[in-house]
Amino acid sequence: MEGMTLSYPTDEETLVSYFLEIARGQTAATAKHFLQATSWNLEEALKLFLSGTKPPLMDTANQIDPSSPLPLIKETLESEQGASSTSESDKLAYLYHPPFHLMFNGSFIKAKFAASMQDKWLIVNIQSTKEFSSLMLNRDTWANDAVSQIISTNFIFWLVYDDTTEGHKVCTDYRLDLIPVVLIIDPITGQKIRSWGGMIQPESLIEGLLTFLDAGPRGSSSRPKTKATVDSESSEEEDEEVQRKLAASLESVKESSEMTGGDNKDANVAGNLQETTSLEFEKLRI
């Protein structure tokens, strides 16, 4: 992730929520303590927490104690990051943190509304804290510079965990069984356009996302055609061709019948031919 500047949300409640996604089991008060100690810088607060360093004491007004100046926090953090006291699990927790720099700040409904207003496709990533492939997505895919650039420029990205209320609802609405999963959603209709399950390599994801860059979701002509859509169109063309042949056959029988003066025998032949042709038509449709 070198050379890429990360931008994090500024709303205090959201910062606390994101902090607790990494620091599982901690309280909101603890999250605020670390965030206040780093001037509400989420990345620095997480580093401070994961390093095992205790933030300076707060006074009754929830401000930093003047006896413990902020500049010393970063120096203490940097000196202790390489210390043996930092556990391996803490290092991994920070390495696999969610892509805060891409995440939309808000609910699923708000994410759809924002994507619709900006005429952008909505990417939904549903993760599980129990699946290592979720962590791999964070470390390898969302942290990839090319992936981040494409998503931040052309999409709205929304991430949720499957064990949350909203995450469970999305899983139910879209009948999702495999987690983690990445969905491309039409924000106007709510339709799932495409999905990937499990770990997705950056190159594979980029290839799939490129098909959505030509145009946004507004207008049916801009929507990428799925396999089902292509098969449906092909079937309709075949039906039209069969109908044309059926009409031509019936017309030929009619003309032949008129030329013979409506002979009963010819009429029976015409009736049999019409019935046979109809059966063939039904077979082709099936």
Could you report the per-residue pLDDT of 111-143, keeping only the tens digit for each?
A: 999 999 999 999 999 999 888 899 889 999 999
pLDDT over 70, % of the chain: 59
Considering the entire predicted model, what is its pTM? 0.52
* Mean pLDDT estimate for the chain: 75
Q: Is 273's pLDDT higher than 60? A: no
DSSP H or E stretch at residue 284: helix 264-285
DSSP one-letter code for 224: P
SS3 track for 149-201: HHHHHHEEEEEEECCCHHHHHHHHHCCCCCCCEEEEECCCCCCEEEEEECCCC
Question: Which pLDDT score is estimated for 71?
Answer: 38
Share of the chain above pLDDT 90, in %: 36
Most confident of 55-64, 163-172, 277-286: 163-172
C-alpha R_g of the chain: 30
Quick: pLDDT tens for 164-213: 999 999 999 999 989 999 999 999 999 999 999 999 999 999 999 999 99
Is the pLDDT higher at 77 or at 9?
9
**Spatial CB neighbours of 95, under 8 Å, sequence gap ≥ 6:** 139
Nearest C-alpha neighbor of 202 from the set 131, 270, 150, 272: 150
Strand partners, 195: 183
For residues 262 and 259, give the distance between their C-alpha atoms in angstroms, rounded to a whole number: 8
